[in-house]
């Protein structure tokens, strides 16, 4: 980027760019057709008085990780929740901040539904899963969990700033920020508020098919434009994988009706081929013939962290607000998540066997 009197000028900006901090940024005739027009038009101009108290509050946080996705419904919040559970299990002090204002699912995924925020002379207190895992979400502030949050951008941005400057986390090793899908107001706000305090980077979650990767490419480019390091991309729901003994077997009749023959099928295998009951069954749910996230990462020059299969037991753990590492039920997903976490935090993950 070049510098001018009205802020930095992006490398891909139009000729006669007024500068990102100009009052005309994103609005002047010179901005028409510029790829940065929307970001510049919605970004606040001039020094933000909230940045100093945010910096003071974030001074006690060692590492900040954003979890992003270009497409909704790819399992980003599930990944954020399980990453937080894993970090806490490694004896880190962890905070999980949910800035998905319109769709806060983190309280349920952490088993904290119905909890309330408490205020002290130090600020808002997070809701705690364990003594070393605190959570903050608008979900704790809604009078009814079915209440719709119908807010415009400025009000969303105001709450995100309030979370950052008023929540008392104490000393944290990791703050995991679960963001909504896309590259809109919430993303611009969190980056502008935290960039000067130091962001370790972003983990981007996708599913294998092109309809998701198209939007994830935009998310990668967003990170590059705003100066956020992409720690890596996770390909979630990478095929349905579960023990064969957990599969339900159906018999299709000529009238298109289906009958459950699971009990017969399992008994047949037990008698004729018992070794099959220890096998894992795999089925590709989404089309990955285009190369999936791995190919996209190679093309865009960002790290590929790994694949996590679609595991019904992981879905159940998320529904129940539990860690998939607590027991041996998530046999397909837990090892995959562990491998990804070891790439992000290698030494402590290996020591704790998460």
> What residue numbers does the annotated binding site for ATP cover?
70-77
> Residue positions in the annotated binding site?
17, 31, 34, 40, 70-77
Cβ burial of 322 (10 Å; 0-12, 13-18, 19+) is buried
CB neighbour list of residue 218: distance below 8 Å, 6 or more residues apart? 70, 183
β pairing state of 230-243 and 280-283: antiparallel
- Residue 267 CA to residue 287 CA, distance in Å, equals 33
- Residue 187 sits at the vertex; the CA angle it makes with 207 and 119, to the nearest 5 degrees, is 110
- Binding site for [4Fe-4S] cluster, by residue number, is 17, 31, 34, 40
* CA distance linking residue 323 with residue 330, whole number of Å: 10
């Amino acid at each position: 980027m070049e510098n001018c009197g009205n802020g930095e000028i992006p490398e891909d900006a139009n000729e006669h760019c007024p500068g990102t901090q100009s009052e005309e940024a994103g609005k002047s005739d010179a901005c028409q057709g510029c790829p940065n027009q929307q970001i510049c038009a919605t970004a606040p101009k001039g020094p933000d008085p909230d940045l100093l108290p945010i910096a003071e509050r974030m001074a006690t946080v060692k590492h900040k990780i954003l979890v992003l996705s270009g497409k909704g419904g790819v399992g980003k919040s599930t990944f954020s929740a399980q990453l937080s559970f894993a970090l806490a299990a490694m004896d880190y002090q962890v905070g999980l901040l949910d800035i998905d204002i319109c769709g806060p699912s983190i309280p349920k995924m952490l088993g904290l539904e119905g909890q309330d925020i408490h205020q002290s002379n130090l600020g808002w207190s997070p809701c705690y899963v364990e003594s070393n895992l605190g959570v903050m979400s608008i979900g704790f502030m809604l009078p009814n969990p079915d209440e719709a949050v119908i807010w415009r951008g400025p009000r969303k941005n105001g709450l995100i700033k309030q979370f950052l400057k008023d929540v008392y986390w104490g000393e944290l090793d990791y703050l995991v920020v679960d963001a909504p899908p896309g590259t809109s107001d919430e993303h611009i706000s969190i980056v502008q508020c935290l960039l000067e305090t130091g962001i370790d980077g972003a983990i981007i979650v996708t599913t294998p098919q092109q309809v998701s990767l198209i939007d994830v490419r935009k998310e990668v480019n967003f990170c590059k434009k705003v100066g956020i390091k992409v720690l890596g991309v996770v390909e979630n729901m990478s095929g349905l994988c579960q023990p064969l003994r957990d599969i339900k077997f159906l018999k299709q009749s000529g009238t298109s009706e289906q009958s459950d023959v699971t009990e017969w099928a399992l008994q047949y295998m037990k008698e004729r081929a018992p070794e099959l009951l220890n096998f894992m069954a795999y089925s590709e749910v989404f089309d990955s013939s285009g190369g999936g996230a791995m190919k996209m990462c190679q093309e865009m020059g960002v790290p590929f962290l790994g694949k996590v299969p679609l595991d019904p037991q992981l879905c159940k753990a998320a529904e129940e607000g539990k860690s998939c590492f607590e027991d041996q039920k998530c046999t397909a997903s837990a090892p995959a998540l562990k491998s990804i976490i070891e790439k992000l935090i290698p030494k402590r993950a290996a020591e704790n066997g998460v």
